[in-house]
């Protein structure tokens, strides 16, 4: 889909679909929507009067133009209440509108710039939200379908603006959305792929491909290296699988950067739970347990292309978590990369094991900040639902900047506490730590466990409860959402 900004009047556009908008409760639309309504002899206001359309967020109304405008159909999308308008709502409305256009097989679409200036959102951010919402709304994972597939028919999407002054800002916003949208799409594609495709070595091959394409460095380590170099926790989880593990390290070096940020992603390509086996219902879907790794790869790919002024190290511990003759047993004890001993009282708490070795490795590299993203606990989803992820951190400004970067691309995160007293739950009778604490406070326990390995390096941990959705939402089809990709990338690009 080619997205651009064009100067002109909405009513002059020649295309299949023209997207305009309406705030909830407005009976007499003004601006671009008003002009379109007049050209259609009040067809939109007519529908509002009949209460067929009230402007609820994401609701759409399709109006045929019957030759009164040079477009085939007008799509009016609801923006919800004017008072609580924000970036994410622009994205949601744009996503719903593009899906509607897709439904009637439009190939060329023009859109108004939804709500520029409202709620203090400038034209650049507004255009970024429209374009990103459009890219995400049009996304679908169809690679493995051979029948009844309808690929996205939309080839051109234009944001139409009358004033020439705003055009540069709009183009700039579109560019930024394309970078983010491309990265989020990469994550979605990878996390939606089944686990017989996305194996640890597949992740490594994609990392090497990114390195070749962008010039970032990449080192891939195998089982022998992991075992010989003391990554005892990653090695322990990997023991149960004949599919070979990988430890992936990528590096982007900027000229004149002031700091180095490590981004670490959980790369469990399938999580059976190990001998603390998951039940059928909970195991299904565990191909997405590498969503953190996918987000890190996607962010690194974009960093390699966009070249921000910050050094970035990407680390991905990747393995399956399986049962089998060589798999670890509950109660086994292993030595971590930083030397602490860990009793694995629950083999299903494998994410924190592999991440702890990775963050300890980052610490040894001497990075300035560590950000990890992981589908770490089911409990985070119970607490926050699928619309947002949990975020923890040892430094307020790091956490706040990540939350801000998330807000700017529609990814919601809610900060949860690293409550020290719960460390008690991670005490083992036989080793320095055990990997699973009580059910109560399970999200916090997981974060505290990883936090035991970061030392005093500023650290943030994202527990990805929003990595996938079980039903279609405004911004994502059922499956991967790509969450954390935009947050991490936006944060790095803003350095
Ligand atoms: N990958 C899961 C977490 C998960 C479960 C994410 C469901 C999304 C949906 C993780 O490895 C896991 O199994 N965590 C356990 C930890 C527990 C044993 C302390 C959990 O949350 O049940
Ligand atoms: Mn698990
Ligand atoms: Zn897991």
Distance of alpha carbon 323 from alpha carbon 274, whole angstroms: 5
Same domain, yes or no, for 97 and 208? Answer: no
Same domain, yes or no, for 114 and 250? Answer: no
Percentage of the chain modeled with pLDDT above 90: 97
Distance of alpha carbon 413 from alpha carbon 392, whole angstroms: 10
Return the CA Rg of the chain: 24
| Ligand 1 lined by 375 (C-beta under 6 Å) | yes
Note the pLDDT tens digit of each residue in 88-110: 999 999 999 999 999 999 999 99
| Ligand 1 lined by 377 (C-beta under 6 Å) | yes
Query: What ligand 1 atom has the least distance to the C-alpha of 467?
Result: 8
Torsion of CA 369, 371, 377, 381, to 10 degrees: 120
Quick one: angle between helices 123-138 and 167-192, nearest 10? 30
> Is the distance from CB of 490 to CB of 303 less than 8 angstroms?
no
Note the pLDDT tens digit of each residue in 221-239: 999 999 999 999 999 999 9
Note the pLDDT tens digit of each residue in 374-428: 999 999 999 999 999 999 999 999 999 999 999 999 999 999 999 999 999 999 9
| Ligand 1 lined by 350 (C-beta under 6 Å) | yes
Ligand 1 pocket: which of 234, 350, 377 to mutate (most atoms within 8 A of CB): 377
pTM over 0.85: yes
Confidence tier at 219 by pLDDT (50, 70, 90): very high
Same domain, yes or no, for 320 and 379? Answer: yes
Same domain, yes or no, for 466 and 399? Answer: yes
Q: Which residues surround ligand 3, an ion (CB under 5 A)?
A: 268, 271, 289, 351
Q: Is residue 176 a part of any domain in this protein?
A: no
**Cα dihedral sign, 210-211-214-216:** positive
Contacts of 354 (CB under 8 A, 6+ apart): 233, 234, 237, 266, 267, 268, 317, 319
Percentage of the chain modeled with pLDDT above 70: 100
Contacts of 421 (CB under 8 A, 6+ apart): none
| Ligand 1 lined by 443 (C-beta under 6 Å) | no
Distance of alpha carbon 14 from alpha carbon 11, whole angstroms: 9
Q: Is residue 363 a part of any domain in this protein?
A: yes
Average pLDDT value over all residues in the chain: 97
Mean pLDDT of 432-457: 97
Ligand 1 pocket: which of 267, 378, 379 to mutate (most atoms within 8 A of CB): 378
| 380 three-state secondary structure | helix
| Ligand 1 lined by 381 (C-beta under 6 Å) | yes
Token digits of residue 204? 């490594």
Same domain, yes or no, for 404 and 266? Answer: yes
Task: State which H helix or E strand residue 274 sits in.
Answer: none
278 is catalytic: yes
Task: State which H helix or E strand residue 60 sits in.
Answer: strand 60-64
| Percentage helix, strand, coil for the chain under 3-state DSSP, each rounded to 5 | 40, 20, 40
Query: What ligand 1 atom has the least distance to the C-alpha of 435?
Result: 19
pLDDT attached to residue 61: 97
Confidence tier at 174 by pLDDT (50, 70, 90): very high
Same domain, yes or no, for 341 and 202? Answer: yes
Note the pLDDT tens digit of each residue in 291-310: 999 999 999 999 999 999 99
Confidence tier at 146 by pLDDT (50, 70, 90): very high
Same domain, yes or no, for 73 and 192? Answer: no
The total number of structural domains in the chain stands at 2
Is it the case that residue 150 has pLDDT exceeding 90? no
> Is the distance from CB of 427 to CB of 451 less than 8 angstroms?
no
> Is the distance from CB of 317 to CB of 291 less than 8 angstroms?
no
For 193, phi and psi rounded to 5 degrees? -65, 145
Distance of alpha carbon 369 from alpha carbon 427, whole angstroms: 27
143 is catalytic: no
Q: Of the listed 38, 82, 278, 386, which one is catalytic?
A: 278
Task: State which H helix or E strand residue 469 sits in.
Answer: strand 468-469
Q: Is residue 460 a part of any domain in this protein?
A: yes
Q: Is residue 175 a part of any domain in this protein?
A: no
Domain that holds residue 52: 2-162
CA-wise closest residue to 241 among 191, 207, 206, 289 = 289
Q: Is residue 173 a part of any domain in this protein?
A: no
Q: Is residue 178 a part of any domain in this protein?
A: no
Q: Is residue 169 a part of any domain in this protein?
A: no
Contacts of 345 (CB under 8 A, 6+ apart): 330, 331, 428, 434, 435, 436
Same domain, yes or no, for 272 and 419? Answer: yes
CA-wise closest residue to 57 among 80, 41, 34, 29 = 80
Same domain, yes or no, for 39 and 145? Answer: yes
For 430, phi and psi rounded to 5 degrees? -115, -20
- The Å distance, Cα 395 to ligand 1 centre, comes to 26
Is it the case that residue 115 has pLDDT exceeding 90? no
Same domain, yes or no, for 296 and 265? Answer: yes
> Is the distance from CB of 255 to CB of 307 less than 8 angstroms?
no
| Ligand 1 lined by 336 (C-beta under 6 Å) | no
Mean pLDDT of 186-210: 98
**Widest CA span of the chain, in angstroms?**
79
Note the pLDDT tens digit of each residue in 252-280: 999 999 999 999 999 999 999 999 999 99
Same domain, yes or no, for 132 and 270? Answer: no
> Is the distance from CB of 488 to CB of 263 less than 8 angstroms?
yes
Q: Is residue 80 a part of any domain in this protein?
A: yes
Mean pLDDT of 343-370: 98
CATH number for 139: 3.40.220.10
Q: Of the listed 72, 96, 239, 352, which one is catalytic?
A: 352
Same domain, yes or no, for 154 and 223? Answer: no
- DSSP, res 64: E
Query: What ligand 1 atom has the least distance to the C-alpha of 346?
Result: 18
Mean pLDDT of 179-196: 98
CATH number for 466: 3.40.630.10
pLDDT attached to residue 31: 93
Note the pLDDT tens digit of each residue in 331-347: 999 999 999 999 999 99
Is it the case that residue 80 has pLDDT exceeding 80? yes
Distance of alpha carbon 279 from alpha carbon 350, whole angstroms: 16
pLDDT attached to residue 117: 80
Q: Count of alpha carbons within 13 Å of 75, Cβ hemisphere only?
A: 30
| Ligand 1 lined by 378 (C-beta under 6 Å) | yes
């Amino acid at each position: 889909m080619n997205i651009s900004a064009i100067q002109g009047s909405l009513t002059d556009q020649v295309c299949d679909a023209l997207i305009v908008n309406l705030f909830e409760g407005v009976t007499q639309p003004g601006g671009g929507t008003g002009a379109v309504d007049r050209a259609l002899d009040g067809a939109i206001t007519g529908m509002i009067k009949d209460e067929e359309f009230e402007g609820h967020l994401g609701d759409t109304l399709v109006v045929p133009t019957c030759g009164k405008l040079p477009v085939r159909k007008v799509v009016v999308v609801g923006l919800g209440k004017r008072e609580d308008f924000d970036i994410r709502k622009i994205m949601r409305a744009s996503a719903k509108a593009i899906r509607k256009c897709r439904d009637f097989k439009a190939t060329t679409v023009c859109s108004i710039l939804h709500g520029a200036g409202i709620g203090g959102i400038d034209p650049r951010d507004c255009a970024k939200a429209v374009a990103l919402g459009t890219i995400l709304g049009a996304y679908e994972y169809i690679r493995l379908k051979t029948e009844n597939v309808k690929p996205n028919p939309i080839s051109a999407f234009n944001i139409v603006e009358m004033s020439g002054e705003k055009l540069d800002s709009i183009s700039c916003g579109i560019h930024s959305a394309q970078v983010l949208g491309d990265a989020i799409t990469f994550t979605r594609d990878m996390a939606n792929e089944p686990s017989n495709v996305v194996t640890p070595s597949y992740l490594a091959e994609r990392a090497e491909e990114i390195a070749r394409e962008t010039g970032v460095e990449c080192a891939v380590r195998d089982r022998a290296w992991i075992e010989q170099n003391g990554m005892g926790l990653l090695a322990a989880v990997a023991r149960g699988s004949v599919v070979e593990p990988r430890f992936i390290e990528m590096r982007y070096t900027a000229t004149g950067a002031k700091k180095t940020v490590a981004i670490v992603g959980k790369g469990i390509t399938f999580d059976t739970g190990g001998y603390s086996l998951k039940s059928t219902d909970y195991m299904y879907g565990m191909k997405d347990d590498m969503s953190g790794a996918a987000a890190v790869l996607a962010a690194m790919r974009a960093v390699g292309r966009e070249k921000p002024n910050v050094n970035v190290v990407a680390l991905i511990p990747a393995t399956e978590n399986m049962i089998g003759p060589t798999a670890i047993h509950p109660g086994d004890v292993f030595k971590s990369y930083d030397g602490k001993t860990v009793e694995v009282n629950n083999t299903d708490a494998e994410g924190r094991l592999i991440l702890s070795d990775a963050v300890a490795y980052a610490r040894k590299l001497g990075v300035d900040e560590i950000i990890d993203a992981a589908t770490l606990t089911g409990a985070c989803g119970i607490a926050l639902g699928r619309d947002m992820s949990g975020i923890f951190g040892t430094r307020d400004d790091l956490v706040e900047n990540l939350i801000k970067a998330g807000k700017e691309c529609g990814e919601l995160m809610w900060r949860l506490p690293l409550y020290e007293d719960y460390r008690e739950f991670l005490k083992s009778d036989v080793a320095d730590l055990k990997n699973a604490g009580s059910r109560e406070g399970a999200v916090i326990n997981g974060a505290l466990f990883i936090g035991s390995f970061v030392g005093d390096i500023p650290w943030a941990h994202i527990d990805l409860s929003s990595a996938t959705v079980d039903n279609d939402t405004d911004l994502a089809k059922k499956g991967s959402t790509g969450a954390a990709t935009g947050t991490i990338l936006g944060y790095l690009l803003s350095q």
